[in-house]
Chain A
Amino acid sequence: MLRYTLRRLASLVVSLVVASLVIFAVVEVAPGDPASFMLGINAAPETVAALRAELGLDQPKWQRYLDWVGGMLTGDFGTSYTYRAPVGEMIADRLWVSLPLALYALALSTLIAFPAGIYAAARRGRPGDLAVMGLTQLGVAVPNFWFAMMLVLLFAITLGWVGAGGFPGWEAGVWAGMKALTLPAISLALPQAAILARVMRSSLLDILGEDFIRTARAKGLSRGQALWRHGLRNALIPVLTILGLQFAFLLAGGIIIEQVFYLPGLGRLIFQAISARDLIVVESVVMLLVFAVILVNFLVDLAYAAVDPRLRRRA
């Protein structure tokens, strides 16, 4: 198990290094000089040069890459070109909105998808299954941001149960914060839940066709007992993969949903940065998102080993 963990950890580090190189390289080829962009076309060359030095833009490329990576490792994400504020602090503020939103949505999606998928698999071919499958078919076709707009139209504008958007901040209390994140989380979670439920169902059905389910039935387990005791744990392996991928989609999808609900999360930060050509902010936020995705995949790999004893021994 330890060896397996170490191997995964090594592959996590390699992925991070390569990802950071790719991001850095892409941003490097960006046309235009941030310093002249910030100061406008009429700026004096000396002023631009001074700003370039201040921002470290006159350093060689490899030096700037090392500074960037080294800075991130010590929590220093550099200084925003436009806000002249530490990028780290800006990200930290926004993360307190984006991360809870993604986790909230992930929890909702799992809570909806697991029972729905198991239910559909257990009632294969019967009306209950067809109803769940029909709903999920619709669910995977709905763009989450449009679904969000429809939720706003119904619950905020027509019924007036919740505000149409904005975020009071966690200072206003956990309850108020969660309330503001509920509609966004639902609109993120439902389309994802539809996918997850389908995967859960088909994975379970695959497992139910396996020989060892027949063995379990021959022991005297009922169909339901066999599904519950032998099917679920085996079916979880492909489901975990999708769950890992979904977290990536929820984080990224959150960026769009934040636009619908005017939430001050990473999404708004990144779009403001793009329009201001504040590349250091874009670079760092993208790196952070990629880091989150790679980290989650690492955790999923560890979860595999917990579920599947075959992985524990072999490296």
Chain B
Amino acid sequence: MTLLQIEGLNLSVGGAPILREVSLSIAAGEILAVTGESGSGKSLTALSVMGLLPGNASVAGAIRLEGRDLLGLSEREMCAVRGRDVGMVFQEPMTALNPVQSIGDQVAETILVHERAPRAEAMARARTMLDRVGLPAERFPLSRYPHELSGGQRQRVGIALAIALRPRLLIADEPTTALDVTTQAQILALLKELARDFGMGLMMITHDLAVVSDMADRIAVMRDGEVVETGETRRLFAAMRHPYTRALFEASGHRVTLPPRHVTGGTLLEVRGVSRDYPLPREGLFAPRRHHRAVNRVSLSIGRGERVGLVGESGCGKSTLTRAILGLEEVQEGDIRMEGAPVFTGHRPNPEVRRKMQVVFQDPYGSFNPRHRVARLVTEPFHLLDAPPRGAARNRAVAEALEAVGLSARDATKFIHEFSGGQRQRIAIARALIIRPELIVFDEAVSALDVSVRAQILDLIARLSGELSLSYLFISHDLTVVRRITERVLVMRAGEIVEEGETEKVFSQPRHPYTQELIAAAPRLPAPPSATETPDAAS
């Protein structure tokens, strides 16, 4: 018997239609993955099941849980369903728990809301549940607070409180998106195991096809509020009847043709024995100040025309290293040289060196001053030149830079809010290119983008690297992306470089145990069913 049956669900929020005729079903013990890019309506489908939609939403259709239509229930009846029959795990473990309540109380609350159990009994059951999700009593007593736990541990608490009453359906909304790849693998394994053990239906919302392919029994692909294709996982990947499914699949596993390296010889960037400490808050009033070493004696070099990747999980020190290379922060030890000249001279960044480097950041929405027009945004690095072009020459430079990244010269007079995320990332690349730097640092530059846009930007970077003989340092937590866009890779962990080598070699035969662990943890797409044709990448 089907556990959950969604039939012809239509949803509009504030009059704007969001979901159209969505139909899905989950059987007991089954894992259904709902996937799609941002704006596809996958999260709102989940919230419709929970009855936790925003106040100005209106729903039509039917959501039947074991034959009972949830849309017909009153708010009071729905409260009895939530937490008892349906549990939910959210995306952001850092904010999903109440910061001023102990983890024991938060798990026990699920029990106390639904059952007339004595507090002691509820706490004992919370203990069992926390043990079950991998938080043993000796290290994680019930009295712990969320701020004392890591992201992965918090997500385990989030799972424990969602399944405390062994609901028949668990909804997980991007439960691992905010986590590192090794933690992600553990949480995914845990969810899969719990679904099997408890005979629970699991509705897994994710944007990551690779995550889905590993664990789901069935997949539903959504786009613009509609389910475009649904089917048993292996069969769906084999057939891919809908063109959007195929496009999504292609974009997720998108292979970039990296043009051959044109120029060789000569070291561009040389980082030697660099360390960077941050002061920690003082322990006592007069206690000596202690330091956290974010980067520890790191050495690396990038040759002219080389395309190098730097991978590592959050907190490994890669951002600190980036800031040091860019001359935004001075290092305590070692030195960084660009074509032999130091990045810092006498505690001041060296402008001669700075004009040889530019950067593209992660967040396409935060990278631009909202009050300036594109021409002004793109020409900001001209500040580094002794004689920046003016008048017609400046306009020409702006036009060239915009056209190089696939935009039009007319875009120069627009404001940044008129562009989509992918277009903004193109503008960020134009800004980096405009002074023709020797080296571009891509700092998680495609991490915030949807897969199809990401594929386009990666193609753009590859094309530009061929046309302009670019050298770049591509920093990312995402191994698959780094693998496609670089020829040499560095693996960073806890402030140190643990492995370095040719990209393909490191990925196919990792030597360091940490690299092996990383690569094993990364979710993988199944092999492509047939020769894939590349869809047109231009936007």
Q: Are A215 and B158 in contact (CB under 8 A)?
A: yes
A225 at the B interface (CB under 8 A): yes
Q: Are A219 and B282 in contact (CB under 8 A)?
A: no
Asked, given contacts A7-B285, A210-B95, A315-B282, whether A220 binds B80 with beta carbons under 8 Å apart, the answer is: yes
Q: Are A215 and B96 in contact (CB under 8 A)?
A: yes
A214 at the B interface (CB under 8 A): yes
* Contact for A212 among B96, B110, B147, CB less than 8 A: B96
Q: Are A212 and B97 in contact (CB under 8 A)?
A: yes
CB-based nearest A residue for B162: A218
B283 at the A interface (CB under 8 A): yes
Q: Are B100 and A309 in contact (CB under 8 A)?
A: yes
Q: Are A218 and B281 in contact (CB under 8 A)?
A: no
* Contact for B101 among A214, A217, A219, A230, CB less than 8 A: A230
Interface size on B, residues (CB 8 A): 37
CB neighbors of A among B305-331 (8 A): none
* Contact for B90 among A211, A220, A229, CB less than 8 A: A211
A234 at the B interface (CB under 8 A): yes
User: CB-CB contacts of B83-97 with A at 8 A, as 1s and 0s?
Assistant: 110011010100111
Q: Are A10 and B158 in contact (CB under 8 A)?
A: no
CB neighbors of B among A266-315 (8 A): 307-310, 313-315
Q: Are A211 and B99 in contact (CB under 8 A)?
A: no
CB-based nearest A residue for B85: A220
A233 at the B interface (CB under 8 A): yes
CB-based nearest B residue for A215: B96
Residues of B within 8 A of A59 (CB): none
Asked, given contacts A214-B52, A309-B147, whether A220 binds B100 with beta carbons under 8 Å apart, the answer is: no
Q: Are A221 and B100 in contact (CB under 8 A)?
A: no
Bound-state CA distance A221–B75 (Å) is 11
Q: Are B281 and A315 in contact (CB under 8 A)?
A: yes
Interface size on A, residues (CB 8 A): 29
A123 at the B interface (CB under 8 A): no
CB-based nearest A residue for B81: A220
CB neighbors of A among B409-460 (8 A): none
A61 at the B interface (CB under 8 A): no
Chain A nearest Cβ from B212, distance in angstroms: 22
Bound-state CA distance A225–B87 (Å) is 18
Residues of B within 8 A of A221 (CB): 79, 83, 109, 113
Asked, given contacts A210-B95, A214-B52, A307-B100, whether A220 binds B82 with beta carbons under 8 Å apart, the answer is: yes
* Contact for A218 among B83, B100, B282, B285, CB less than 8 A: B83
A137 at the B interface (CB under 8 A): no
Residues of A within 8 A of B158 (CB): 215
A3 at the B interface (CB under 8 A): yes
Chain B nearest Cβ from A62, distance in angstroms: 27
User: CB-CB contacts of A191-219 with B at 8 A, as 1s and 0s?
Assistant: 00000000000000000001110111111
CB-based nearest A residue for B286: A10
User: CB-CB contacts of A1-29 with B at 8 A, as 1s and 0s?
Assistant: 00100110010000000000000000000
Chain A nearest Cβ from B147, distance in angstroms: 5
Asked, given contacts A211-B96, A309-B147, whether A6 binds B285 with beta carbons under 8 Å apart, the answer is: yes
B50 at the A interface (CB under 8 A): yes
CB neighbors of A among B270-301 (8 A): 281-285
Residues of B within 8 A of A216 (CB): 98, 109
B68 at the A interface (CB under 8 A): no
Residues of A within 8 A of B50 (CB): 217-218
> Which of B79, B82, B84, B98 neighbours the largest number of chain A CB atoms within 10 Å of its CB?
B98
Bound-state CA distance A7–B82 (Å) is 45
User: CB-CB contacts of B26-50 with A at 8 A, as 1s and 0s?
Assistant: 0000000000000000000000001
Bound-state CA distance A223–B92 (Å) is 21
Bound-state CA distance A94–B123 (Å) is 53
Asked, given contacts A222-B75, A233-B100, A309-B147, whether A217 binds B90 with beta carbons under 8 Å apart, the answer is: no
CB neighbors of B among A212-266 (8 A): 212, 214-223, 225, 229-230, 233-234
* Contact for B95 among A7, A212, A307, CB less than 8 A: A212
Q: Are B285 and A10 in contact (CB under 8 A)?
A: yes
Bound-state CA distance A158–B92 (Å) is 61
User: CB-CB contacts of B210-241 with A at 8 A, as 1s and 0s?
Assistant: 00000000000000000000000000000000
Asked, given contacts A10-B285, A212-B95, A221-B79, whether A229 binds B100 with beta carbons under 8 Å apart, the answer is: no
Q: Are A218 and B88 in contact (CB under 8 A)?
A: yes
Residues of B within 8 A of A309 (CB): 99-100, 102, 145, 147
Chain B nearest Cβ from A150, distance in angstroms: 40
Q: Are B283 and A315 in contact (CB under 8 A)?
A: yes
CB neighbors of A among B138-162 (8 A): 145, 147-148, 158, 161-162
CB-based nearest A residue for B287: A315
Residues of B within 8 A of A223 (CB): 75
Bound-state CA distance A217–B113 (Å) is 11
CB-based nearest A residue for B51: A217
Residues of A within 8 A of B96 (CB): 211-212, 214-215
Residues of B within 8 A of A210 (CB): 95
B114 at the A interface (CB under 8 A): yes
Q: Are A219 and B284 in contact (CB under 8 A)?
A: no
Residues of B within 8 A of A230 (CB): 98, 101
Q: Are B161 and A215 in contact (CB under 8 A)?
A: yes
Bound-state CA distance A179–B84 (Å) is 54
Bound-state CA distance A270–B79 (Å) is 59
Q: Are B285 and A219 in contact (CB under 8 A)?
A: no
B371 at the A interface (CB under 8 A): no
Q: Are B99 and A310 in contact (CB under 8 A)?
A: yes
* Contact for B98 among A10, A212, A220, CB less than 8 A: A212
Bound-state CA distance A253–B114 (Å) is 49
B116 at the A interface (CB under 8 A): no
Asked, given contacts A215-B158, A229-B109, A315-B281, whether A222 binds B79 with beta carbons under 8 Å apart, the answer is: yes
Chain B nearest Cβ from A68, distance in angstroms: 27
Q: Are B100 and A219 in contact (CB under 8 A)?
A: no
Residues of A within 8 A of B114 (CB): 220
CB-based nearest A residue for B91: A211
Residues of A within 8 A of B80 (CB): 220
Q: Are B284 and A220 in contact (CB under 8 A)?
A: no
User: CB-CB contacts of A75-98 with B at 8 A, as 1s and 0s?
Assistant: 000000000000000000000000
B76 at the A interface (CB under 8 A): yes
- Contacts A211-B90, A212-B96, A218-B50 aside, 10 further interface pairs with beta carbons under 8 A come to A215-B98, A215-B161, A218-B88, A219-B82, A219-B162, A220-B110, A223-B75, A233-B100, A234-B100, A314-B281
Top 9 closest A-B pairs, CB basis? A220-B83, A219-B83, A211-B95, A218-B88, A220-B82, A219-B110, A309-B145, A212-B98, A211-B96
26 residue pairs from A and B, CB less than 8 Å apart: A6-B285, A211-B92, A212-B99, A214-B96, A215-B88, A215-B90, A215-B97, A215-B158, A216-B98, A216-B109, A218-B52, A218-B87, A218-B90, A220-B79, A220-B81, A221-B83, A222-B75, A222-B79, A233-B101, A309-B99, A309-B145, A309-B147, A310-B145, A315-B281, A315-B282, A315-B283
